[in-house]
Amino acid sequence: MPRLYGFEDASRRRLRDDEIDATRLMVSRALISDESNHDIAVWANGEGYRGTLGGEWKDASIGRLFRTPAIAGLRYDDDGELVDAGHLGAITREEFMALLAREEARSTKVPEPAYDYLLTGGASTCGNCKWDLGGARTNAVTPGYRCRPKDKNGHGGCGEVRIDAELLEGYVGEHVVAELLKPGIRAQIAQAQAAVRKQVEDLKRDIKELEGRQAELGRLYGNREISGEALVAGEREIASNLKGIRSRLRYAEQMANFSLGHAKDLVKWWNSAPTASKRGITLLLLEKIEVFPASARGVRTIEPGRVVLHWRKLSGTSGD
Ligand SMILES: [Zn+2]
C-alpha cells in the first residue's frame, strides 16, 4: 500500500514536515481563498511540490487528498462515521468537515445556462437607492434582476429590490415597441443614431489616448524616471478609466448599430432580435428604468408605479 501524502510510511506514525506544510497551505487555499482544485494544483506544482510518487498535482489528485480523512487523523468506521484514526493529522477535524462541505457544494452545483440580461450595465436602477440592478438568480434558478446588498467593503445598494427578468423585460419591451409605432419615430431614431455614432468615435479616441498614456508610463518607468509605486498607481487609474470607457463604448456601439430595417411587424422584430439590438434600442429610447420594491413577495405582475420608464427627449418628440 503506497504511503499517504504527508506521512512517512503506510503506518502513519510519523508525519513528513515538508508535505504537512504543503497540505496545510493547499487546504487554506481551498477554505480561505476559495480557490478551485485546479488552481491549487497549478500553485502547488509552481512551488515545486510533488505527489508521493513524484508526479505533478492535478485537480483530481488534490480532490482525492481532500477527501482522505487520514489527513485530519480520522477514518471512517464500519457505519461510515468519522472517528479518530489513532494517528496524527495535518489539519483539524473542523477543517476536514469544511473540505467535505466544499466538495458537496461543488458537486451539487447546477450548471446554469447563461442568461443574456437585457437591462444590466446601468440600463435599470433601483428606485430606492439608485444602485444599478444586476443579474441574479433566485433559488428557483429563474433569472432575475436585483439590487445587490452592500458587501463588507460597503460597495452595493439597499438589497431591497428584486424582479423576475422576463417580467421586467417583457414590460419594457411592450413599451418600447409601442413607442416605435408612433409616427415619425424612425426618422428621430436615425438622427439619434447619427449622434451616437459621433460619440462612438469620441470614445474610441479617448481609449487610444489612454493606451498611449499607458505606454508612456511604461517607458518612464523603464528609464527610471518614475518609481514603481507611481507606475502602479498610474496604471491602476488608467485601467479603471479604460474599463469605464470600454463599457460605454460597447453600449454606444449597440445603440449606433441596430437596424429596424423595413420591419413592419415590430412586435415580431422585438421577439426575434438579438439582445444587443434590443439593448441598443432600449438605451437609445430610455434614459433610465427605475424599479421599486413590489408590495409583497412573489407578485407576478408589474404593479402600478413599480417600474418607472424615463424616456429620452429625442429631437422633435414631445417626450413623456
Ligand atoms: Zn437598492
Number of residues in the chain: 320
Ion ligand 1: residues, CB < 5 A: 126, 128-129, 131, 147, 157-158
Grid cell, residue 194, equals 447619427
Greatest mean pLDDT range, 81-95, 145-159, 165-179: 165-179
CA of 271 to the centre of ligand 1 (A): 29
Strand (E) or helix (H) holding 143: strand 143-146
Segment 101-106 mean pLDDT: 84
Segment 144-159 mean pLDDT: 90
- Judge whether residue 316 has pLDDT over 70: no
CA of 135 to the centre of ligand 1 (A): 14
CA of 27 to the centre of ligand 1 (A): 37
> What is the per-residue pLDDT for 7?
83
CA of 296 to the centre of ligand 1 (A): 16
Q: Domain ranges for the chain, please list them.
A: 17-108
CB 247 within 8 A of CB 283: no
Name the band, by pLDDT with cuts 50, 70 and 90, for residue 319. very low
How is domain 17-108 classified at the architecture level of CATH? Answer: Alpha-Beta Complex (3.90)
- Judge whether residue 107 has pLDDT over 80: no
CA of 33 to the centre of ligand 1 (A): 29
CA of 290 to the centre of ligand 1 (A): 10
Rounded CA-CA distance 197/201 in Å is: 7
- Judge whether residue 310 has pLDDT over 50: yes
> What is the per-residue pLDDT for 317?
43
Name the band, by pLDDT with cuts 50, 70 and 90, for residue 288. very high
CA of 124 to the centre of ligand 1 (A): 11
Segment 197-208 mean pLDDT: 96
> What is the per-residue pLDDT for 165?
93
pLDDT in tens, 218-254: 999 999 999 988 998 999 999 989 988 998 899 899 9
The one-character DSSP state at 11 is T
Closest CA to 82 of 157, 92, 90: 92
Which residues have C-beta within 8 Å of that of residue 150, sequence separation ≥ 6? 156, 157, 159
CA of 150 to the centre of ligand 1 (A): 9
CA of 162 to the centre of ligand 1 (A): 9
CA of 125 to the centre of ligand 1 (A): 8
Residue with cell 467535505: 100
- Between 136 and 95, residue with greater pLDDT: 95
- Between 52 and 318, residue with greater pLDDT: 52
pLDDT in tens, 30-63: 998 888 999 999 999 999 999 888 889 998 999 9
CA of 262 to the centre of ligand 1 (A): 40
Stated pTM of the model: 0.59
Which residues have C-beta within 8 Å of that of residue 263, sequence separation ≥ 6? 269
Q: Read off the amino acid at residue 269.
A: W
